[in-house]
Structure 1
């Protein structure tokens, strides 16, 4: 009887310790990701913030917003040129959007 209780206690402690480690690792990874996103958001200059605002408000009217890293800088150039006419944006606004996207790569 004592052997069963000791074995059950050992197995319970082993499972509890494994579960705690996984939760701690996930929490640490999530915290690190949140810190990186916060630093990236804080680092925007007023010009880049304007480009981000234009990107979010002009582009999201017609389609979902793509992550800047989904395409290379060379791939973004024709995409932005094509979308400029559809979104009715002038060259200054497109330069702001382009600078913002380039800063996110």
Structure 2
């Protein structure tokens, strides 16, 4: 019975990960770099930080936009939350780098 449940869960996860992609809006004829475009262009390291932020922090409370606080305000928040979320230093560095990149 456990094997059937695990197989079913794996199939559901596979199907969910293969979901439809949202269509991106049409790009203007003259390329301009906006703040929104910069925010979406994440390096793999920043993408990992974003993923950790969204998955670790959203388990307990709503996510705050990185720009909602200054870099100085984020530091004590992240230190406090690291203990509660049981994240190691490398994971916290990744989250901190992501948040800093969005300010």
Q: TM-score, normalised by structure 1?
A: 0.63
Q: Distance in 1 between matches of 2:68 and 2:50?
A: 16
- Pick from 80, 83, 91 the counterpart of residue 85 of structure 1: 83
The number of aligned residues is 72
Which residue in the other structure is 1:47 paired with?
45
Q: Distance in 2 between matches of 1:72 and 1:36?
A: 17
Which residue in the other structure is 2:95 paired with?
97
- Gap regions ≥5 residues in structure 1: 1-30
Q: SS where residue 94 of structure 2 aligns? A: helix
Higher helix share: 1
Larger Rg: 1
Q: Distance in 1 between matches of 2:81 and 2:94?
A: 14
Q: Distance in 2 between matches of 1:83 and 1:49?
A: 20
Q: TM-score, normalised by structure 2?
A: 0.65
- Gap regions ≥5 residues in structure 2: 1-26, 29-33
Alpha-carbon RMSD: 1.9
